[in-house]
Amino acid sequence: MVSDNDALRLRRLVFYAADVDRINQALLSFVKKAGAQAVMLIDQEGHLVSRQGFKGGSGDGSDGQTMAALVAGSFTSTRQVAKLLGENDFRIMSHQGPNTSIHLTLLGERTLQVAVFPSSVKPGMIQVLCAELAKQMEGILADAAKRAPEPSQQLGNNFSEAMKDQLDSLFGNL
């Protein structure tokens, strides 16, 4: 039986520096190639994994985490609509405003790709460009998932006694 902590650890996305570098490089390349204002990778709980560029209400990019949480919530509620219609989920969502469009893509079962575009980029082009990025991101995520976790560093059996001795030598026997 798996404990609650182990279950959470199994569901959580784990990225090493090399993974984040690959993700950032792919996202930055996408922003430049696609003319996107921003692109983010978020987990299903709405935690921001990575972002490049940004277009937000304040213009300074400070609301990226808020946007990530709201987008994840929107996707979760839409998943329930999909189930009402006999689908497991909708893997792609788009929203178009007069000045800005947002394109959401579910990668695997727990990661969302969020791309923000100016209205000057045509919806068909957005779909094609986001599909290309999704394929690339799924490859990176698959590589990260296959990697064996780094061995955890555990404290030695006599750690408590050694720490007590060190503290006693520094502060005296209290």
**If you search the block for the tokens 């990226």, which residue do you land on?**
64
Average pLDDT, stretch 25-39? 94
What is the rounded CA–CA span in Å between residue 104 and residue 113?
6
The architecture that CATH gives domain 11-149 is 2-Layer Sandwich (3.30)
| Spatial CB neighbours of 130, under 8 Å, sequence gap ≥ 6 | 92, 103, 105, 113, 115
What is residue 11's predicted lDDT score, i.e. its pLDDT? 53
What is the rounded CA–CA span in Å between residue 70 and residue 76?
10
Average pLDDT, stretch 23-39? 94
Residue boundaries of the structural domains of the chain = 11-149
CA 42 from chain center: how many Å? 3
Pairing state of beta strands 92-96 and 111-118? unpaired
- Amino acid present at 121: V
pLDDT above 70 covers what percent of the chain?
82
The tens digit of pLDDT for each residue in 145-171 reads 887 666 665 667 777 788 777 777 777
Average pLDDT, stretch 58-78? 81
Name which of 22-36, 51-65, 124-138 the model is least confident about: 51-65
The tens digit of pLDDT for each residue in 101-148 reads 999 999 988 899 999 999 999 989 999 999 999 999 999 998 888 876
Average pLDDT, stretch 3-15? 55
Name which of 21-25, 54-58, 79-83, 159-163 the model is least confident about: 54-58
Q: Which SS3 state, helix, strand or coil, does residue 152 take?
A: coil
